[in-house]
Structure formats: C-alpha cells, structure tokens
C-alpha cells in the first residue's frame, strides 16, 4: 500500500461526511418551488399605474415561518421563491381596490395547484381551479366613505309631523264641504256642539286668565276686591 493510497482513504471519508448533510437536504431543495403571478387590469382598474406603491401580495401558510409577502413590480408581476410543500392562502392587499383570494397547494413532487376561495370558506371546500401562473384582477374599488344621498321629497312622507300636518290640512279643507252636505237636523246639532265647545267660546275656558309664570314662581295672583256699594264715608 503506497502513501498516496493511505492519504486518499481518509480524504474520501471526509468528503463523504461533508456530502451527507447535502444529500439529506437535496430532496427538500428539489421540492421547493416558485409561485408566480401577476395583476392584470380590467374594467375596475384601467391601468397598473393607478395601484398605490403600498400594494403587496401575501402567501400565508400554516406556520408563520412559511408565510411571506412580496411587493408588486411595475408590470404587475410578483414571485415567491423556495415555497415548501403545503397549502397556502394568497391575497392581494391594496388600499384602493379589492382583489379575490386564492388557495395554493404545493405537493411534495413540486406540483402547484391553485383554487379560488374567500374569507369564511371551509378550507376543505376547494373552489374553482385556476391556472398557474396566477392572473389576478380587481373585483371592485374600495369604498371608505358613505355616499351622501340627494334630496328625496318622498322621504318627507315618512316623517310623522308631516303626516299630521297633511291630515290636519285635509280635515280643514274637507270639513266645510262635509257640513254643507249634512241634513238640516244633523247640521243644527253639529253647530250647537261647536258653539258649546271651549274653542268656540273662549270665555268658558277654565284656563283663561291663568298666570303660568306666577304659578311656576310659587305665588298666586289675586285680584283686589272692589269696595262695597255703600262703603263710602261721608265727611
């Protein structure tokens, strides 16, 4: 056995020990994939330049370490590299527009499957299958403020005070015509009741001359009594 052979054998063992961790990590490196996609304009978004710079795309996994976010390029593209096998939720966070959500399943052999989903949907319930790379278009514009409604005269009829006023005006308008169409006996009885009412004879009103201010102040107003007819003294 030569000296070269003696030196080569330990070197081979050392190389095999160094290559062992790489061989163990090799399947994981192969299974890691890249998830790509892009935002496409539509009727709700006429141009990608209208997107705010703060727009981001998130890929959330079961574990926090598997979750990540990416900014959107000028052409609307985004990319997530070294995505491990698992299931993920892909969402676009934008201040001005609302985007749909997607479920991304990455298998151990590197297969990427994309399905449509939404918040509150059962995770086992897969939606419509989508192609990969993922094309995302906004659903609608974000509305942060409630639009003030214009003046609507029909809504005034819902006010109780307006309804009471309309009924009172209608009664005042129709009452004279109803009185004219009454028979003489009914009309005479109605006029008699009107004359005996408090509104027709305010002198019979028991509240006439009542001093509300004095009553609230706690004092009652008394009229001075007139002197008797024969009470004048002679000098």
Tens digits of residue pLDDT in 159-187: 888 888 888 888 888 877 777 777 777 77
pLDDT computed for residue 160 by the predictor: 85
Is the pLDDT at 221 greater than 70? The verdict is no
pLDDT computed for residue 165 by the predictor: 87
Mind listing the pLDDT tens digit for each residue in 43-82? 999 999 999 999 999 999 888 878 899 999 999 999 999 8
pLDDT computed for residue 6 by the predictor: 41
| Rounded Cα gap, residues 235 and 231, in angstroms | 13
Label residue 15 by pLDDT band (50, 70, 90).
low
Contacts 24+ apart (CB under 8 A), 130-134: 130/102, 132/35, 132/36, 132/37, 133/36, 133/37, 133/38, 134/35, 134/36, 134/37, 134/38, 134/90, 134/102, 134/104
Report in angstroms the alpha-carbon separations of 153 from 146, 162, 169, 206: 21, 11, 18, 43
Higher pLDDT among residues 115 and 186, named by residue: 115
- Lowest average pLDDT, out of 4-13, 79-88, 141-150, goes to 4-13
| Rounded Cα gap, residues 52 and 101, in angstroms | 19
pLDDT computed for residue 62 by the predictor: 83
* pLDDT averaged over every residue in the chain: 77
Stretch 98-102: mean pLDDT, rounded?
94
- Lowest average pLDDT, out of 134-143, 158-167, 220-229, goes to 220-229
Find out whether 88 and 66 touch, Cβ atoms under 8 Å. Answer: yes
Report yes or no on whether pTM surpasses 0.85.
Answer: no
Find out whether 35 and 132 touch, Cβ atoms under 8 Å. Answer: yes
Stretch 30-43: mean pLDDT, rounded?
86
pLDDT computed for residue 232 by the predictor: 47
Cβ neighbours of residue 157 under 8 Å, at least 6 residues apart? 163
Structure tokens given for 81: 């590299």
Cα 95 to the chain's mean position, in Å? 15
CATH superfamily of 24-141: Immunoglobulins (2.60.40.10)
| Rounded Cα gap, residues 66 and 83, in angstroms | 8
Stretch 122-130: mean pLDDT, rounded?
89
For residue 50, the tally of other CB atoms under 10 A from its CB is 13
Mind listing the pLDDT tens digit for each residue in 193-214? 777 665 555 555 565 666 767 7
**CATH 2.60.40.10 domain locations along the chain:** 24-141
Report which of 163, 134, 159, 158 is spatially closest to residue 72, judged by C-alpha positions.
Answer: 134
């Amino acid at each position: 056995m030569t000296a070269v052979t003696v030196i080569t054998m330990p070197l081979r063992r050392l190389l095999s020990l160094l290559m062992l961790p790489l061989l163990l990590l090799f399947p994981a490196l192969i299974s890691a994939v890249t998830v790509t996609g892009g935002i496409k304009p539509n009727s709700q978004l006429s141009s990608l330049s209208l997107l705010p710079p703060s727009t981001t795309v998130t890929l959330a996994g079961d574990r926090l370490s598997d979750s990540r976010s990416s900014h959107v390029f000028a052409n609307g593209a985004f990319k997530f590299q070294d995505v491990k096998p698992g299931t993920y939720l892909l969402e676009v966070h934008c201040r001005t527009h609302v985007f749909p959500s997607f479920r991304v399943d990455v298998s151990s052999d590197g297969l990427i499957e994309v399905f449509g989903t939404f918040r509150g949907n059962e995770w086992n319930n897969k939606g419509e299958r989508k192609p990969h790379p993922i094309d995302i278009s906004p659903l609608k514009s974000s509305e942060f403020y409630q639009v003030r409604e214009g003046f609507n005269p029909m809504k005034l009829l819902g006010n109780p005070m307006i309804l009471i006023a309309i009924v009172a005006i209608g009664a005042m308008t129709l009452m004279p015509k109803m009185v004219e169409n009454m028979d003489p006996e009914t009309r005479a009885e109605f006029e008699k009741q009107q004359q005996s009412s408090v509104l027709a004879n305010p002198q019979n009103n028991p509240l006439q001359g009542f001093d509300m201010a004095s009553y609230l102040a706690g004092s009652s107003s008394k009229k001075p009594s007139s002197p008797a007819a024969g009470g004048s003294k002679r000098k």
